[in-house]
């Protein structure tokens, strides 16, 4: 990144988002290493109940690493992950699923050789007794999937695979959905469609933490946004404030600085 973002944009204690009741998810001063490489250098963020929080940043900023630390795929060296005020860092990802965290990984990762239906059923794996209305809900949100429930997932288009990945995560009845670049490599029209569905999912009561490079789409959906740069949060504000911030516009929306 060549833009200089001021230090005064760092989240301060007592920021708007950290006030009030216990947030659903809170990351406190996370330090994550890959071997000797420090990928996260003290990331803190807060995701309140029922909201959509966007996490923006260039390639390699540490967005995916942050999500993986939140969903238990990585263990932070220091720092806390709090879910409903309770520490959950160190819990393995397959266990954390039971606490209501759904992770839609980067690059979709559907089970390519299973059918759509088998994929969705796998999504409900954590539930002892799967709820048939969950399947109906996913099929209502994504009618494309309903039409093709017998189709092999690997033969779906990129957009359909992304929808399937989101649908699979929803089958586990998450309270918090972590989405890693759902718009990656998709046509603008499909991105539009997916973001509309994400809004619907949020309105139905699921909290979203959304990692995106597509800043304008993400900030229009989000309530609050964080900007990550080389493993640290450099800006955070209400989404509409970020959307109109000239520095964000210059760095992420490709506009010249006036």
Partner 1 sequence: MSLEVTAGKTPSAARLRKQSWYQRPRFKRLVAMVVTAVVMAQVTGVQGVRNDLFYALEENFTGTGIWIWLGIFLAIWAVREFFQDWARQALARVKAAAAPLPEDGTAKAAPGGLAGQVRRVADGGRRLSTLFRGHRAYQAGGLGALLLVLIMLPLMVSTFWQQVMVDQIGMFLLIAIGLNVVVGWAGMLDLGFIAFFAIGAYSAAFWTGGLPVEPPVELNNFLVVPIAVLTCLIAGVLLGAPTLRLRGDYLAIVTLGFHEIVYLTAKNWTEFTGGTRGANSDRFSLDLGFWSYEWGLDPAPYYWLQLAFIIGVLFLFLRLEHSRVGRAWTAIREDEVAAASTGVDTVRFKLLAFAIGASTSGIAGVIYASKLGFINSEMFLVLMSVLVLSYVVFGGMGSIPGVLLGTAILVWLPEYLRDTVDAQDRYMYLGGLLVVMMIYRPQGLWPSRRRQRELRMSQEGTGSADALGAQPGGAQG
Among 44, 46, 51, 64, binds Mg ion (CB under 5 A): 64
Residue 14 CB, nearest approach to ligand ADP (Å):
27
Give the one residue of 3, 78, 155, 244 binding partner 1; rule: CB under 8 A: 155
Shortest distance (Å) from residue 16 CB to partner 1: 31
CB-based closest residue to Mg ion: 64
53 counts as binding partner 1 under rule CB under 8 A:
no
- Residue bearing tokens 């559907």: 110
Q: Tell me the Ramachandran region of residue 127: left when phi exceeds 0, alpha when psi lies from -120 to 50, beta otherwise.
A: beta
Interaction partner, residue 39 (ligand ADP, partner 1, Mg ion, none; CB < 5-8 Å by kind): ligand ADP
Pattern of binders to Mg ion over 101-120, x per CB under 5 A? -----x--------------
Residues 237-256 that bind partner 1 (CB under 8 A): none
How many C-beta atoms lie closer than 10 Å to residue 66's C-beta? Answer: 29
Nearest residue (CB) to partner 1, 87 versus 92: 92
Question: To 5 degrees, how large is the angle CA 188–CA 167–CA 134?
Answer: 140
Residues 15-54, one symbol each (x = binds Mg ion by CB under 5 A, - = not), give: ----------------------------------------
**Minimum separation from the CB atom of position 174 to partner 1 (A):** 11
- The contact set with ligand ADP (CB under 6 A) reads 34, 37, 39, 57, 59-65
Strand pairing report for 176-180 and 207-212 = parallel
Q: What sign for the dihedral angle of Cα 197, 203, 205, 211?
A: positive
Least distance (Å) from ligand ADP to the CB of residue 184? 10
62 binds, among partner 1, ligand ADP, Mg ion, none (CB under 5 to 8 A by kind): ligand ADP
The smaller minimum CB distance to ligand ADP, of residues 46 and 64, is found at 64
DSSP the chain: --S---GGGSPPTT-GGGSSSPPSEEEEEEEEEETTEEEEEEEEEEE-TT-EEEEEE-TTSSHHHHHHHHTTSS--SEEEEEETTEE-TTS-HHHHGGGTEEEE-TT----TTSBHHHHHHHHTTT-SS--HHHHHHHHHH-HHHHHTTTSBGGGS-HHHHHHHHHHHHHTT--SEEEEE-TTTT--HHHHHHHHHHHHHHHHTT-EEEEEES-HHHHHHH-SEEEEEETTEEEEEEEHHHHHH-HHHHHHHS-PPP-
Per-residue contact track with partner 1, 87 to 126, x per CB under 8 A? Answer: -----xxxx-xx---xx-xxx-xxxxxx------xxx-xx
Q: Which is nearer to ligand ADP, 68 or 173 (CB)?
A: 68
The residues of the shown chain that bind partner 1, judged by CB under 8 A, are 64, 71, 73, 92-95, 97-98, 102-103, 105-107, 109-114, 121-123, 125-126, 152, 154-155, 168-169, 172
């Amino acid at each position: 990144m060549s833009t200089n973002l001021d230090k005064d944009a760092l989240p301060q204690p007592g920021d708007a988002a950290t006030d009030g009741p216990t947030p659903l998810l809170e990351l406190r001063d996370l330090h994550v290493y890959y071997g000797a490489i420090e990928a996260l250098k003290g990331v803190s963020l807060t995701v309140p109940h029922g909201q959509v929080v966007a996490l923006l940043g260039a390639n390699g900023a540490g967005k995916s690493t942050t999500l993986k630390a939140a969903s238990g795929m990585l263990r932070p060296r220091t720092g806390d992950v709090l879910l409903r005020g309770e520490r959950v860092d160190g819990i393995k990802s397959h266990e954390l699923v039971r606490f209501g965290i759904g992770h839609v990984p980067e690059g979709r990762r559907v089970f390519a050789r299973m059918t759509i239906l088998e994929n969705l059923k796998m999504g409900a794996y954590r539930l002892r007794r799967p709820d048939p209305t969950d399947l109906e809900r996913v099929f209502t949100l994504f009618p494309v999937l309903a039409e093709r429930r017998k189709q092999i997932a690997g033969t779906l288009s990129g957009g359909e695979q992304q929808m399937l990945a989101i649908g699979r995560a929803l089958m586990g009845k998450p309270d918090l959905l972590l989405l890693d670049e759902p718009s990656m490599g998709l046509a603008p029209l499909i991105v539009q469609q997916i973001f509309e569905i994400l809004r619907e999912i949020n309105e139905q009561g699921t909290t979203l933490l959304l990692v995106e490079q597509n800043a304008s789409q993400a900030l229009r959906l989000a309530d609050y946004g964080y900007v990550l740069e080389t493993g640290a949060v450099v800006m955070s504000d209400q989404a509409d404030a970020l959307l109109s911030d000239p520095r964000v516009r210059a760095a992420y929306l490709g506009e010249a600085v006036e």
